[in-house]
Amino acid sequence: MADALRIAITRRDVEEWFGPDEVVRHDLPGIAHEPTRRFLAEVGLPRRAALIGFEPDAEPDPGRDGRIVLGAYGSLRTADQAVLLDGATGRVFAEERYGDPALMSVDVSTLVRNCALVEAIRPGRGPVRTAEELIDLLGETEPELNPGHSFWHTSFALWQLRRAALPGDGLAVRITPAMLDLVYENEFSGYEERQLPAAITHEPTRRFLLDVGLIDAWAYLDMRSDGKPLPTLAELAAERRADWDDEPEPPADAEHLVVLGYVSEDGDLLVDGRTGVVRRWNTGGDEPFLDTLDTDLSTLAFTMWVIGRMHRQGERFGIGIHDVWESIAVDLLSSVDPLAWAEPGGYWEDMILDGINGLGP
């Protein structure tokens, strides 16, 4: 029949994809499109998949052109955006903060199939399915989608990056100069042994600075690249206090905190020489304070790599930067470096969610 769903999916299929306890059937008599109503009642939807939480409303929403809210998508600290079903046609739309809702899936069968594909690649393990393969599949089954503004094109292109989050040797993530060069083209450079103070006793951190190093400047982070030995915060604060009367007293452990550079307008970028944790001595407000930027230098570099690769993937596949881009960035980075996202209002949250310096949407 002309209005049949595009893909044949059974109850057994969705239970195998998401688990029997994670699939819910919904009786929604307000849906006029019979194949859609039958699919939701007999096959069902996952509770949560591909950053979408499914909790369908029983009745159409007059404030959304009579569409039915199927649920919402979003991640840690990103605003939930509604997933909407046109009850007359069966088409599914993704609501966004700016502009009209964009076509998300041609029907609920492709919606659920796409959710399953994302959940298969999102953990970053298991069989490899390339972005090209998955995006070609979209072209075959849903040619109506606009790749530049598609929830699924964006998801298939970006979730692949999680595969790179492999455990490091003494640091959280394995990251190499060759990996960084793919995005930053030799902009990262290592330090010389003479530049590293004795305060850096954490051997993996010391090795990372020698073998991989840091980029000179990136997104309001300006590294010390004058070739001089890196000072401790205690040493730098003493120099400043000799010149400036209003320089605040450094924190108690300042002799163990090594100054890598500056966080523009905020203070100093530090690494704890004992643990490798990346900190910020924030002097941009009324009261100075220490906060945490990253678990270690590997997750700092990995964050830079992910953001760079996300933009490259966008260029490669003609993908625009929109709300799902933001949600994936936050979910991916917070899963790899939860310490950096532990507290609201952290550095990366501001950088990505506020779109500072081209990092976010």
CA–CA dist 46, 198 (Å, integer): 54
Assign 3-class secondary structure to 179-221: HHHHHHCCCEECCCHHHCCCCCCCHHHHHHHHHCCEECEECCE
Q: Which amino acid is at 358?
A: G
What's the pLDDT at 246? Answer: 77
> Could you tell me if residue 126 is left (phi over 0), alpha (psi between -120 and 50 degrees) or otherwise beta?
left
In angstroms, rounded to a whole number, what is the distance separating the alpha carbons of residues 2 and 173? 51
Q: pLDDT at position 258, please?
A: 98
Q: 170: helix, coil or strand?
A: coil
Task: Give the pLDDT of the chain (361 residues) as one tens digit per residue.
Answer: 346 899 999 999 999 999 999 999 999 998 999 999 999 999 999 999 999 999 999 999 999 999 999 999 998 778 789 999 999 999 999 998 878 899 999 999 999 999 999 999 998 876 678 999 999 999 999 999 999 889 999 999 999 999 999 999 999 999 999 999 999 998 999 999 999 999 999 999 999 999 999 999 988 899 998 899 999 999 998 988 888 877 788 999 999 999 999 987 778 999 999 999 999 998 877 788 999 999 999 999 999 999 999 999 999 999 877 789 889 999 999 999 999 999 888 888 888 877 666 676 5
At 2 the pLDDT is 44
- Angle (CA) 347-350-352 rounded to 5° is 105
3-state DSSP call for residue 257? Answer: strand
Locus of tokens 């030799």 = 186
Instruction: Please choose, from the candidates 242, 180, 253, 237, the residue with its C-alpha nearest in 3D space to the C-alpha of residue 212.
Output: 180
155 closest CA partner among 101, 182, 116: 116
Tell if the pTM clears 0.85, that is, is over it: yes
Question: What pLDDT does residue 41 have?
Answer: 97
Q: Are the C-beta atoms of residues 324 and 272 closer than 8 Å to each other?
A: no
In whole angstroms, what is the distance from residue 293 CA to residue 350 CA? 11
DSSP code string of 57-121: -SS-BGGGTTBEEEEEE--TTSPPEEEEE-TTT--EEE--SSSSPEEEESSHHHHHHHHHHHHHH
Other beta carbons within 10 Å of 16: 12
Tokens encoding 153: 């094109």
* CA distances in angstroms from 79 to 86, 149, 290, 330, 344, listed in the order given: 22, 18, 28, 12, 14
pLDDT at 126: 65
Name, in order, each residue with C-beta under 8 angstroms of 263's C-beta and a sequence gap of 6 or more. Answer: 220, 221, 269, 280, 282, 347
Burial class (CB in 10 A: 0-12, 13-18, 19+), 213: buried
